[in-house]
Structure 1
Amino acid sequence: MKNSVDVRALLTAYEKIKTLGTPVENGKQLDDITCTESYDGYSVSLSDGVVSVDVNFHNTYHFHTLNEDPDTVINQTTADFHHNNETQIQAFLNKLHDLNTRY
């Protein structure tokens, strides 16, 4: 998955959510994706409650999942942990793709 994310698609989804979404406590929400931005506008975040991605200045990004620490996940090997996170991230990216296609 490394370096296979199209930052332009992330930012397109962000703009669509920001423009078409419903206001929520910390930002806007469209379908089940919420977007927020930093106070200075240099970074934005997209989240579905399971996975979030921060897109920062110069188009760098970082994904977060609910269970980020493999040491806190009981009965999972490190390989299983990384596979589960990759699966969650891919499902999130598919939601963003669908959102970009629909709107």
Structure 2
Amino acid sequence: MKNKVDVRTLLSVYEKVKTQGTPTENGARLEDITCTESQDGYYVNLADSHVSLDINFHNTYHFHTMNEDPDSVINQTTTEFHNNNEAQIEAFLQKLMDLNQRY
């Protein structure tokens, strides 16, 4: 999946949410995507209710999902856990791409 992620596009989405979204206490919200940035400007964040994405200063990124710890998920194999997280991330990325096209 790493090869499918274009950081420039993600930063474009971030800018659209920030400028065209509704201001919130910590950033902005456009549709169901929120954006925030760190105090020092080192990273920005895009998130929905299932996935959070940190984009760092050097164009590195890290996804967080609601259930990051496989040991905390009951009745799920490690493979199912990773497939579930991968599906959440893919859906989140699609949501960001759709938002990028609409705005």
Q: Output the TM-score relative to the length of structure 1.
A: 0.97
Counterpart AA for 1:84: N
Q: How many residues align?
A: 103
Query: 1:9-88 to 2 correspondence within 5 Å?
Result: 9-88=9-88
Matches of 1:41 and 1:20 in 2, distance apart? 20
Alignment match, 2:92? 92
Q: Following TM superposition, by how much is the alpha carbon of 1:4 offset from its aligned partner in structure 2, in angstroms? A: 2.4
Matches of 1:88 and 1:69 in 2, distance apart? 15
Matches of 1:12 and 1:29 in 2, distance apart? 15
Alignment match, 1:7? 7
Unpaired segments ≥5 residues, structure 1: none
Q: Output the TM-score relative to the length of structure 2.
A: 0.97
Matches of 2:10 and 2:37 in 1, distance apart? 13
Unpaired segments ≥5 residues, structure 2: none
Counterpart AA for 1:71: D
Quick one: higher RCO (CA 8 Å, sep 6+), 1 or 2? Answer: 1
